[in-house]
Structure 1
């Protein structure tokens, strides 16, 4: 139990182990039943196409900003106002957390593998598989915050529109998983056009809420839309997280060596960094990773 608490605290304080879309696309044998909607409501295909076009054009982005997290193992909300984030589709991510200008944590994530560095301690952790918590894997947790579904690969037949407000141009969609006993996986609140995701609620097969994410303060740059304020609640983990992004650059030119994990580990060893296993309770404690001044 102690090892699990330390591990989850480390991962959450380090912005978790990051990006990847939620896996497990299940085919639905037939379209879900449609509901009558007001005149003028957009088609599900129109909304899905808009989301998919934006996703396909957004190859990468770089941002600085503030990260906040609250978990049971830490009494106060932890705040890092000097975080930087670099994402490359489909699921490459680099995050740096600073305190008073000093790099305290750096996380480089590639698919299900990652290198987590603690520069002030000259320690690092390398993992070639993802970590799981109570209700979601670590990649799914962050996927919920940034990219809950791969819109370009999502079949239209799995979505059902349940409401449309003509004045605000907001729609509510349900995402269903098929099989012998279909069940509702998500409720999505969107606004258009062009269409953006405002709220995303994820459920399990029993209808229990697993995660809820809200996205606000959308900006447009080079024709691409992205939220600069993202907040997620994970009831099963008793966790809450929020990103406030600023100075966002879309599709920047990236160093091709940035996500070469083998090379990063080689350089860390050459610099005499000590390898630790945070999943065995090694490395800095949750208190040492306290992000607050």
Structure 2
């Protein structure tokens, strides 16, 4: 499943192509993906100008001139292909280059400059929805989402207040989308490592006895923002066949300090600890028990 940096990489690849263009046609080649396609999908899209392409958590949000939003989720194998001037570009692809098979081209968007945007999804775990822009924050997809990890609302005070009194472990706490939106398994593990915090530590330890943020909360916020920004700059992580807009593999996996490195020696100079794999909320976690406390 793509995480926030991969989705943000796709957004940055699509935005220059989509924003400012008008939708001239829509091909919906099947009635559903994970969920049924929106009612009157073609009628609601054709003629609309694309005003903006945003991201909230792991959702891509296309703002339309008529006041509706087209919300897209890539699922496990969804990817977009840009077709223009006879050239194919891929702002995001997953699952062993599966998007090369046109039988899985389920939705095609035609733009006013002649560009086509093709959504390909072999396993069809992705989905598209349409909703009024004014009602989006109240929609079930968005109303319970926490703060954006790269936004100004993620602060040490915020984490301390949300963690105060909670016995849940830090790894599960960070992956709770009601607390931090879009932070997934890989980057939670990497952020905890950079902050020197064990995933087994309780979330309540982010606050002191008075409820003020402890130093570890400050370190964790800085590490979350740093690891996500580094991953975005690297074009995401290639776990299967993720690629960026130029078709090049995302390179952040080459910088993994702990993720998928079980039984390897910790990379921190002088540590000498061995990376351990554990489970938190059913997901694999990786940490160094010697330098993460």
**Which structure has more helix as a fraction of its residues?**
2
Q: Which has the higher contact order (CA 8 A, sep 6+)?
A: 1
TM-score for both structures, normalised by structure 2:
0.25
**Which structure has more strand as a fraction of its residues?**
1
TM-score for both structures, normalised by structure 1:
0.25
